[in-house]
Amino acid sequence: MTKVKFFNCKIDISKKVFEPRVETEFWVRKAIHEIENCKSKIANLKALDIFSGSGCIGISILKNIKGSKVNFADISKDSVDQIKINLRLNRIGKERYKIYQTNLFQRLKNKKYDFIFANPPYVAENRISEVQEEVLKKDPKIALFGGEDGMDYIKKFFGQVKINLNQKGKVFLEFDPLQKEKIKEILEKEKFKFNFKKDQFGKYRWLEAKI
């Protein structure tokens, strides 16, 4: 078993899924604290962890927000198997989650969420030469690349996410700092209210958006 720590969870990555990054842990911690401190805290909160990989984001929600329920969505069978292992490893009750093997939101028709967490594949293919060899060997390509400029999944995501978001729901998304302006254009066009946020290294790395 190859295990890493993420927030206060144990995450096994032996199925060769994407290895959780410290930048992701940073914003997930912030987002969860924000939800916990929210005045109108939602009882029985329902969240979606899309592009879930190892399941590190959704499992952090389940472990840290009492009574929360999480759906996991990833296109890869390895990821589905890995999430099951990690849910057991962190002793999460079966009644609190569902796992979907799906291309984006395809198998999530009619499902609504209070919070949608997304860390999509966003590396630009035209920057492949800058990606470390070790990363290319370790992480599956399907988890890394998002087309020529890395924006393919982010565009699709914002084109589809509203249908699955509750009226007062919120989206948290990770991206490459170089994509900020392109994402801003999409969010304005889709009429979202949004906030860009920095990571622990001072780079714009994640955002919050709502309808």
Residues of this chain that bind ligand SAM (CB under 6 A) = 17-18, 20, 24, 51-54, 56-57, 73-76, 79, 103-104, 119-121, 142-143
Residue 61 vs 104, nearer CB to ligand SAM: 104
CB 70 within 8 A of CB 61: yes
Q: Which of 69, 167 has the CB closer to ligand SAM? A: 69
Residue whose C-beta lies closest to ligand SAM: 53
CB of 88 to ligand SAM, least distance (A): 18
The distance of closest approach from Cβ of residue 54 to ligand SAM in the complex, given in angstroms and rounded to an integer, is 6
Kindly state the smallest distance separating residue 191's Cβ from ligand SAM, in Å. Answer: 24
Nearer of residues 33 and 77 to ligand SAM, judged by Cβ:
77
Query: Measured from the CB of residue 6, what is the shortest distance to ligand SAM in angstroms?
Result: 8
Please give the C-alpha separations between residue 126 and each of 2, 82, 103, 151, in angstroms, as whole numbers: 31, 30, 24, 12
- Report the 10 Å Cβ neighbour count for 24: 22
Q: Residue 106, Cβ neighbours under 10 Å: how many?
A: 11
Closest to ligand SAM by CB, 152 or 190: 152
- C-alpha dihedral (31, 36, 42, 48), degrees to nearest 10: 30
The smaller minimum CB distance to ligand SAM, of residues 33 and 168, is found at: 33
Q: Least distance in Å: CB of 44 to ligand SAM?
A: 23
